[in-house]
Structure 1
């Protein structure tokens, strides 16, 4: 993409007047550095940092296994948790905890998960990063209604146009089709496991209400392992740590504070001040505020997940080890990289994952190593702390110079080029190519096994997520990919007034899938689109 082409895309996204304003150096700098969201302050006293031990979500055990797969059961339920010390918080949970239990799957074996909904609201569960048949992808209007829902209530909940409150959607054929896939009480999702080792996660995906549902606790890890990964001498066992980073705010009574237009969630959306996203003032890691962890002087694998609704992070270790390169990236959204990439810090947008290795042998015993957020201020500049012990232990892990075989998609093989502009509407929503989301209306119809070039462009900050298959970033603003674009991605961070090109190829499963912004407030305010793989 040359400069002229980028400016043409920019004009279509921002409008000529806005693009001219961006040309001013100060405006350009503001857009380049601008980050979304409005801070929502907690109404109670917050605990001090590094007083809580880092919890690890329990690993979910299968209820049965067979020759081809493992079967799991998860109950979605209200639970009272002690997230802040001495404070009770009512949460919506998978299995009674936040985060939900971790599913550990094996490539080539199916994971079959039966969800039972005992919450007061409908849900739909999406395996983020999963290579999943369409009927198990968590389409936002394929509702799992609560246990005991009456026929009258089921009909009311199936009126998606009223429930979601999005304009121009009543009576659409796609809506009626989607409503017919609602079920009450329990739903089974099948994940065939036809994908490489990767750090995935699952979360609620109900249309219009993903933001408040995830904010209240509906998120968990789903890890996939394979033989290629197992053959490498990477940190494993207790030195392989999934870290779900999420910001939240709390009301005076200890409940999660969220600026919903309707506190009862009968109508979607947030109050006007938070239309560009909600930022909390408490940083949680695996559901604990600013936790700490004792670490030995060995290598650890940190599976970093940004599960925040809106907040962007620049994660660094403080102090940096002598020589820098503290974070050795070995994996991205879609699994292992071909070779490690070394960073002093990592910028991570909502829904992105970075697998990194940290060698704590580079620190003296007794060093307190903070994981900090350079994009934060005050309390949100702290994430967690690692306390380096003096224990004498053996480190059998290394990071090889070659990690995995990663196929490179060929841009010359692309059979189609598609443009997707992400921008704020003149009304109350967020749009893709100028239109609010309507279930059943296609924005693209890619064919199975064909390579396509997709261009994403932005007005403001948008982390763009594509369902079904990962993609490869091949350029930003007509130049090379950025330092955090390596490997297979399913979410790419678009900065303000930016254009990104990716190559994508959809495989195995035909059907309706989604493309959307993963700023959850943008998503809930209609920044989504369907595409049909044929």
Structure 2
């Protein structure tokens, strides 16, 4: 096995040793580095501070569960589908009787769902009619680098100051300028001068960008969201998130619950100001110049309203039958530990059939299921033993007060059910072995000082788009050891991975399958194994606590 960082360096003459290690620089972390240490010292799953809504909140389990509409292709040709999405402001009724201005994909929250088939390419043309630059990342997508939504590959709105390079359709190969420089270029204007950085490889476009997704990947629940550098957290909070589902014939043939008995559930917390708008503690509410949040919220922003598919604590009528629940935690920082509880107090099994990157080899049964920000779980729940009229509440064991409730199901009728949960779900999971790895790398995810302020660091360094952090060879298998101070959900772009160990022991039951996000618990180390295949180019790995991400907890990954 080669030593850490033995591979070639990245672009711009960066040296050969690319490892972000666990070194002595971390005297910087901890309480001295963050006056938000009180927030960090809370019980482990609560990383952040909670905003309190200033409007009356509705009772739980009265609003019907919405199901996001499926977006129809704008055109089909040559075995590929083409979609068009406009990012625009809209005023929506999230709380009953309350009007809330939001930033949206196609005027809805969540945005419309895209249904894709494995091996059938799609293009999505995004038009930015919002007042600030945006970037779209397909989370979980095996995507060419030019369409992965790198944080400086901005789509600039009409009239935004600066010059965008590249075509109006966003080929992703324009030269671009700026970064965090704030010197009048497209990127500098986008990010202000808080960090004083530039990115010579940025590829901004004006008004539109066409993202290409080959869909050469396993069937899975993916999601798309804004990924603009320094401003990802408030942009997602304002509504820039939607689902994308990849399907294939093999999964269709399994006999899993389908049609109205397959429900996507995007769970997200929010808080509301007195005027009905979304409350969020941005230092610059215009999201134009100064990134970051007020000091009490440096560890993450939590809301006091739990939304599912954009509705507060909704209720959904079901048959007495099996249902497939495709769960996404789209919260900025809130963790959930979900359980399904009947009126009689009995817990229903949550039978996990899939993870972030698709089906497991075989089902895993849970009584409760921890879900970190950006994680997805595909679960079967069987309502057949619940009496007609009975209710099953989905609760968050990590919540308190109103945030303990998530949603509820009411069994409306007896019904035939020909669905099944096969013992073998998938035979195409990669079987990488530790002995296949050409190198082992170590990364620490910790709080620290960042250019004179508070930040969140990987290997002691805050994100810099102009720096090459890790270089890997296309096709190489690597083992990564990840170490956390507090709770960090770590997301790897491009490549799915398997969890090898936690704290030197075996993975946890919910670690099964192929993942792209792992929830590191406080003071925990974990090992993951992956093969970097698919595409060459510049990608990212980062914490998906969105406030941590905006405050430096990202690193560059160059696939060569």
In the alignment, the residues of structure 2 paired with residue 507 and residue 420 of structure 1 have an alpha-carbon distance, to the nearest angstrom, of 21
Is contact 2:263–2:324 with CA below 8 Å preserved after alignment? yes
By how many angstroms is 1:160 displaced? 3.6
In the alignment, the residues of structure 2 paired with residue 96 and residue 13 of structure 1 have an alpha-carbon distance, to the nearest angstrom, of 46
By how many angstroms is 1:263 displaced? 1.4
Judged with a 3 Å threshold, the aligned counterparts in structure 2 of structure 1 residues 483 and 32 are, in CA distance, closer, same or farther, namely farther
Q: Over aligned residue pairs, what C-alpha RMSD do you find?
A: 2.3
Query: Do residues 110 (structure 1) and 121 (structure 2) align?
Result: yes
Judged with a 3 Å threshold, the aligned counterparts in structure 2 of structure 1 residues 34 and 233 are, in CA distance, closer, same or farther, namely closer
Q: TM-score, normalised by structure 1?
A: 0.92
Is contact 2:343–2:390 with CA below 8 Å preserved after alignment? no
Judged with a 3 Å threshold, the aligned counterparts in structure 2 of structure 1 residues 267 and 235 are, in CA distance, closer, same or farther, namely same
Judged with a 3 Å threshold, the aligned counterparts in structure 2 of structure 1 residues 462 and 150 are, in CA distance, closer, same or farther, namely closer
Q: Which residue of 2 aligns with 1:504?
A: 530
Is contact 1:455–1:499 with CA below 8 Å preserved after alignment? yes
Is contact 1:148–1:185 with CA below 8 Å preserved after alignment? no
Secondary structure of the 2:482 match is strand
Deviations 1:285-338 (A, max 9, x none): 000000000000010000000000000001001128998561000000000000
In the alignment, the residues of structure 2 paired with residue 47 and residue 236 of structure 1 have an alpha-carbon distance, to the nearest angstrom, of 31
Query: Do residues 375 (structure 1) and 398 (structure 2) align?
Result: yes
Q: Which residue of 2 aligns with 1:4?
A: none
Query: Do residues 489 (structure 1) and 533 (structure 2) align?
Result: no
Give structure 1 stretches of 5+ with no counterpart.
1-8, 20-26
Is contact 1:31–1:460 with CA below 8 Å preserved after alignment? no
Deviations 1:160-197 (A, max 9, x none): 45643576643x4xx1321xx11111100000010010
In the alignment, the residues of structure 2 paired with residue 407 and residue 17 of structure 1 have an alpha-carbon distance, to the nearest angstrom, of 37
Give structure 2 stretches of 5+ with no counterpart.
1-20, 32-37, 166-177
1:142-181 matches, within 5 Å, as 142-149=153-160, 151=162, 158=185, 160=187, 163-164=190-191, 169-170=196-197, 172=198, 175-178=199-202, 181=203
Judged with a 3 Å threshold, the aligned counterparts in structure 2 of structure 1 residues 361 and 278 are, in CA distance, closer, same or farther, namely same
**Alignment match of 2:257 (pick from 235, 243, 246):** 235
In the alignment, the residues of structure 1 paired with residue 388 and residue 133 of structure 2 have an alpha-carbon distance, to the nearest angstrom, of 50
Q: TM-score, normalised by structure 2?
A: 0.88
**Alignment match of 1:435 (pick from 439, 461, 475):** 461
Q: Which residue of 2 aligns with 1:330?
A: 353
In the alignment, the residues of structure 1 paired with residue 257 and residue 27 of structure 2 have an alpha-carbon distance, to the nearest angstrom, of 49
Q: Which residue of 2 aligns with 1:314?
A: 337
Q: Which residue of 1 aligns with 2:16?
A: none
Is contact 1:516–1:528 with CA below 8 Å preserved after alignment? yes
Is contact 2:161–2:189 with CA below 8 Å preserved after alignment? no
Query: Do residues 45 (structure 1) and 56 (structure 2) align?
Result: yes
Deviations 1:417-471 (A, max 9, x none): 1111101113411110001100031221111111000111111110000000111
In the alignment, the residues of structure 1 paired with residue 353 and residue 430 of structure 2 have an alpha-carbon distance, to the nearest angstrom, of 16
- Which portions of structure 1, spanning 4 or more consecutive aligned residues, are displaced by more than 2 angstroms? 9-19, 29-35, 147-170, 319-325
Is contact 1:13–1:457 with CA below 8 Å preserved after alignment? no
Judged with a 3 Å threshold, the aligned counterparts in structure 2 of structure 1 residues 361 and 157 are, in CA distance, closer, same or farther, namely farther
**Alignment match of 1:119 (pick from 130, 135, 140):** 130
Is contact 2:494–2:539 with CA below 8 Å preserved after alignment? yes
Deviations 1:105-135 (A, max 9, x none): 0000011000000001100000000000000
Secondary structure of the 2:402 match is helix
1:253-264 matches, within 5 Å, as 253-264=275-286
Q: Which residue of 1 aligns with 2:15?
A: none
In the alignment, the residues of structure 1 paired with residue 30 and residue 53 of structure 2 have an alpha-carbon distance, to the nearest angstrom, of 35
- The structure in which a higher percent of residues are helix is 1
